[in-house]
């Protein structure tokens, strides 16, 4: 339907948008090899010095370790809860079924500061009753809460594409619940579970808006970046860390895309995902 003029205009517009998305990222990668501490353009290339400086930073390594531990625990919890909930919603018609996905998406659909403040108020008010304090446990509980929806979306998308006759056949042939789950359901969901887990891990690993309100004195990698981003003399180290984090986030996305067959799987997991990170 498009005229030649429209086609050319759309192409140019699409190219400009793509450039807008990638120019800042490319600039950051270039600046990581800058000899100078200042951010003046053009950068003085080329050095790997800042990578080794960052590598020797003990607080940075500590923050990285905390982030990984938090992400592993949050992802594990989200995997169990997300998978169970997706089965319930897929298999049963019950009162309030539509509300389930709504509740799951709420922690990331609401404005970030609201979720952050709500969770921190809850931790504060439960300190006297159950002794929960700000720190790693609070971070894991918070992260798991908004990671559930990522796993849930991936698994339920897979379940909807899988015919129920497979599990019925297994049952008819004498497979009990656990056997059917192990031999039929699990292999079928495997890639969806891995993709969901990778995305949940990435979400937790990058999160700062809520984490900042739950961490207390504990430092995660994003909190480390946040603490150092304002200091002009630490600019090169932050830059190097930024590039490494950028590369680390591409790999899981790439694997997840391969596993779910298309980026749409990630996109749909992300479609309701409104949390920055």
Partner 1 sequence: MATTNVAPRSARRPFTRRASAFLFRHRGAQLTFTLGPTLTWMVVIYLFSLVVLLISSFWTLNPLTAQVEHTWSFKNYQTILHESVYWRVTFRTVVLAAAVTVTDVLLAFPLAYYAARMASPRIRNLLLFAVVMPLWANYLVKVFAWKTMLATGGPVDAFLGSFGIHGWPGTSIYSLWLVLSYIWLPYVILPILAAFERVPSSYLEASGDLGARAGRTFRKVVMPLVLPGVVAASIFSFSLTLGDYLAAPLVSKTLVLGNLIDQLAGGTANNKPLAAALSTIPLAIMAIYLLIARAMHAFEAL
Hey, which residues between 43 and 72 contact partner 1 (CB under 8 A)? none
Which of 48/113 has CB closer to partner 1?
113
Instruction: Give the CA distances from residue 5 to residues 1, 9, 12, 13, 19, in Å, rounded to whole numbers and listed in that order.
Output: 12, 6, 11, 12, 21
Q: Which stretch binds partner 1 (CB under 8 A): 52-60, 68-76, 116-124, 185-193?
A: 116-124
Q: Least Å distance between CB 215 and partner 1? A: 12
Q: Establish if 276 lies at the interface with partner 1 (CB under 8 A).
A: yes
Among 44, 59, 125, 133, binds partner 1 (CB under 8 A): 125
Residue 162 has which token pair?
């899988």
In sign, the C-alpha dihedral spanning 164, 165, 171, 176 is negative
Among 53, 72, 134, 226, binds partner 1 (CB under 8 A): 226
Q: Least Å distance between CB 157 and partner 1? A: 13
- The H or E element containing residue 138 is helix 136-161
Q: Establish if 231 lies at the interface with partner 1 (CB under 8 A).
A: no
Angle at CA of residue 134, ends 132 and 140, nearest 5°: 85
Residue 133 has which token pair?
């304090």
Q: Establish if 27 lies at the interface with partner 1 (CB under 8 A).
A: yes
DSSP letter assigned to residue 110: S
Binding to partner 1 (CB under 8 A) within 196-225 occurs at 199, 202, 206, 208-209, 212-213, 222, 225
How many residues touch partner 1 (CB under 8 A)? 103
Q: Of 71, 26, 69, which is closest to residue 242 (Cα–Cα)?
A: 26
- As a whole number of angstroms, the distance between CA 82 and CA 223 comes to 27
Among 53, 136, 194, 242, binds partner 1 (CB under 8 A): 242
Q: Least Å distance between CB 43 and partner 1? A: 9
Binding to partner 1 (CB under 8 A) within 138-157 occurs at 141-142, 144-145, 148
Which of 13/164 has CB closer to partner 1?
13
Among 53, 72, 194, 253, binds partner 1 (CB under 8 A): 253
Which of 21/58 has CB closer to partner 1?
21
In sign, the C-alpha dihedral spanning 193, 195, 198, 204 is negative
Instruction: Give the CA distances from residue 75 to residues 12, 82, 178, 204, in Å, rounded to whole numbers and listed in that order.
Output: 41, 10, 23, 8
Q: Establish if 186 lies at the interface with partner 1 (CB under 8 A).
A: no
Q: Establish if 31 lies at the interface with partner 1 (CB under 8 A).
A: yes
Instruction: Give the CA distances from residue 64 to residues 136, 150, 206, 228, 237, in Å, rounded to whole numbers and listed in that order.
Output: 13, 23, 11, 14, 14
- As a whole number of angstroms, the distance between CA 223 and CA 215 comes to 9
Q: Establish if 177 lies at the interface with partner 1 (CB under 8 A).
A: yes
Instruction: Work out the burial of residue 237: count CB atoms within 10 Å of its CB; fewer than 13 is exposed, 13-18 middle, 19 or more buried.
Output: buried
Q: Least Å distance between CB 56 and partner 1? A: 21
Among 178, 187, 217, 233, binds partner 1 (CB under 8 A): 178
Q: Which stretch binds partner 1 (CB under 8 A): 49-57, 58-66, 158-166, 242-250?
A: 242-250
């Amino acid at each position: 339907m498009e005229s030649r003029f429209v086609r050319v205009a759309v192409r140019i517009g699409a190219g400009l948008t793509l450039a807008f998305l990638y120019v800042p990222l490319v600039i950051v990668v270039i600046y990581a090899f800058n000899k100078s501490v200042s951010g003046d353009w053009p950068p003085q290339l080329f050095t790997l010095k800042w990578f080794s400086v960052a590598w020797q930073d003990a607080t940075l390594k500590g923050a990285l370790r905390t982030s990984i531990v938090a992400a592993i625990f949050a992802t594990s919890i989200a995997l169990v809860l997300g998978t169970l909930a997706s089965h319930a919603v897929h298999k049963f018609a019950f009162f309030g079924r539509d509300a389930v996905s709504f509740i799951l998406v709420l922690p990331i659909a609401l404005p970030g500061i609201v979720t952050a403040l709500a969770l921190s108020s809850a931790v504060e008010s439960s300190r006297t009753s159950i002794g929960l304090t700000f720190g790693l446990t609070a971070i894991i509980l918070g992260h798991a809460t908004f990671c559930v929806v990522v796993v849930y979306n991936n698994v339920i998308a897979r379940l909807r594409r899988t015919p129920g006759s497979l599990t019925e056949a297994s049952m008819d042939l004498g497979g009990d619940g656990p056997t059917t789950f192990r031999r039929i359901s699990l292999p079928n969901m495997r890639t969806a579970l891995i993709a969901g887990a990778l995305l949940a891990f990435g979400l937790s690993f990058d999160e700062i808006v809520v984490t900042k309100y739950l961490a207390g004195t504990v430092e995660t990698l994003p909190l480390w970046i946040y603490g150092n981003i304002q200091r002009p003399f630490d600019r090169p180290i932050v830059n190097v860390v930024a590039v490494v984090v950028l590369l680390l986030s591409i790999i899981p996305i790439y694997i997840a895309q391969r596993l779910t067959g298309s980026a749409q799987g990630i996109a749909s997991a992300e479609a309701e995902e409104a949390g920055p990170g």
